[in-house]
Amino acid sequence: MSASHPVIRRCFLLLGLALVLLLGVAAAATTVAELQRRKAEEQIATVNGSAQQSRLALQIALLAQDIARTADSQDQARMRIAADRLSEIHQRLVERVQSLGPAARELVVFYNTDEVALEFTLQRFITQAHTLSLLPPAMLKPGRIEMQAIADSYPRLLAALDAETQAWQHYEERLHRELGRMQILELILFAGVVLAIAL
């Protein structure tokens, strides 16, 4: 009877180890699943936000050309709405950056250093659109400096938005690599559970 006590203790020890490893696998699986869900949501939101920014910038540039030809106050109203929407979407992306984890450090650096002058270029473009959208119809003539300013700013803004999209893409690639490492850890823990049960 006494000889069986070490065996029983060993069985309980191995069972406890198996349970601990199993809990580790469950925790790792939950973490990976949550990160994958968050990554998918961020990808969708980022792709939509980036695409909408570029589309709105193009819409404003085209509206400036239409206003130069027709001096249409309805185009002015559309431009004002598009500029407000562009500002809103950009602010949403900035707030999303601030809420991300360590994997986003390169993305945070991009927004903080602003090497491509994204913030300045975007705000200037929006300001120019607002100014043009508020001019009296009598002042809406071809060659006005506000119209030319939007035409000149658009290529620089588009380049800045492309750089922003690339920064988000690098973040997503980094997050994907981290998820891959976590999945490998999950497999190792699961193999440990199987081994402990087999013993």
* Regions of the chain where pLDDT drops below 50: 1
pLDDT of residue 3: 52
d(CA 101, CA 31): 14
d(CA 54, CA 61): 11
pLDDT of residue 193: 67
d(CA 154, CA 124): 10
pLDDT of residue 4: 62
Summarize pLDDT for 141-165 with one digit per residue, the tens.
777 787 888 888 889 888 888 888 8
pLDDT of residue 1: 47
pLDDT of residue 19: 75
